[in-house]
Amino acid sequence: MGSMPRSIWKGAISFGLVTIPIKLYSATEEKDISFRQVHAEDGGRIKYKRICDKDGKEIPFSEIAKGYEAPDGRMAILEKSDFDDLPLPSAKQVEVVQFVDAEEIDPTYINKTYFLEADGPGAKPYVLLRDALDKTGKAALVKVAIRSREQLAMIRTKGDLLLMHTMLWPDELRDGEFAAPASDVSVSDAEVTMAQSFIEALDGPFEPEQYHDDYRAALEEVVNAKLSGSPMPSEDSEEAPEEAEVVDLVAALRASVDAAKKRREAAKGESKTG
């Protein structure tokens, strides 16, 4: 088992007159491969200096502040204390402002996911909120300030846990109408029926563990080969099928359905013999 993650925030959920002390933990971690910028000739690391554009001097972190530049060029310089002393009621208190059906919230709003853990005497009221949400099928809409930023968030249940999904504000979501096809584009009933057949051919329960990051695995092979001086891994010799220009959607979908069924049968055969 891995080490216990560190909590990134401590506060309390205000559930009416009930207070639930909690700790917050990141529920996700990216598994991407990280690289350093280096000199291609000798592998030396590339370093960047923090230079002030007024006096040309290198500035230590202790002297760097955050500045907001107004449209007219004026600069407002904010210190750490300015952020710490913001008059936000949500700074350490997560107040439930509404209960909603989780299905009502467009997934585009969801930003990050966190685990909530009861802190100290918070176990009993934690279970109370969890079970109440479970029985009503609702999620709690809250406001919370994390890392100097107030955010809308949704608290919902998952098994024995309470999860919190921070959300974007409505004005942070772009209008995607520009990407919609023209209103005069239409498809036939036969084409829709064939598309439904393709969906049914690939229909199944969501099992995320069967999917893997092939790009990361291939990149790790290349990195390991470079480190060990081994021959570079070769590409898969199988040629990708050429994509023909789609003229007849029904015929293309029918071929897609046949191919999907064959893949399903092949996968079942492998699982039986594996």
For the chain, domains (ranges, CATH) are 9-27+86-172 (2.40.290.10), 186-234+247-273 (no CATH)
Quickly tell me which residue has 């990361």 as its tokens: 216
Quickly tell me which residue has 């009861």 as its tokens: 118
Assigned token pair, 41 = 């000739």
Residue type, 260: A
| Cα angle, residue 156 at apex, residues 154 and 160 outer, rounded to 5° | 150
**Cα(160)–Cα(264) distance, integer angstroms:** 35
Residue 274 has what DSSP assignment?
Answer: -
Assigned token pair, 229 = 């001086």
For 185, 205, 233, 245, 267, the CA distances from 199, given in Å and listed in that order, are 21, 13, 36, 22, 17
When pLDDT is cut at 50, 70 and 90, the band that residue 184 belongs to is very high
Mean residue pLDDT across the chain: 85
What 3-state DSSP class applies to 57? coil
Specify the higher pLDDT residue, 147 or 144: 144
Residue 1: the pLDDT is: 47
Under 8 Å between Cβ of 57 and 102:
no
Specify the higher pLDDT residue, 232 or 14: 14
What φ, ψ does residue 114 adopt, rounded to 5°? -130, 150
Residue 109: the pLDDT is: 95
Residue 234 confidence (pLDDT) above 60: yes
| Strand segments (E) across the chain | 9-15, 18-26, 66-69, 75-78, 93-100, 110-118, 139-146, 149-158, 161-167
**Helix (H) or strand (E) segment spanning residue 23:** strand 18-26
Phi-psi region of 201 (alpha: psi -120 to 50; beta: other; left: phi over 0): alpha
- pLDDT (tens digit per residue) in 85-97: 665 555 567 889 8
Residue 5: the pLDDT is: 79
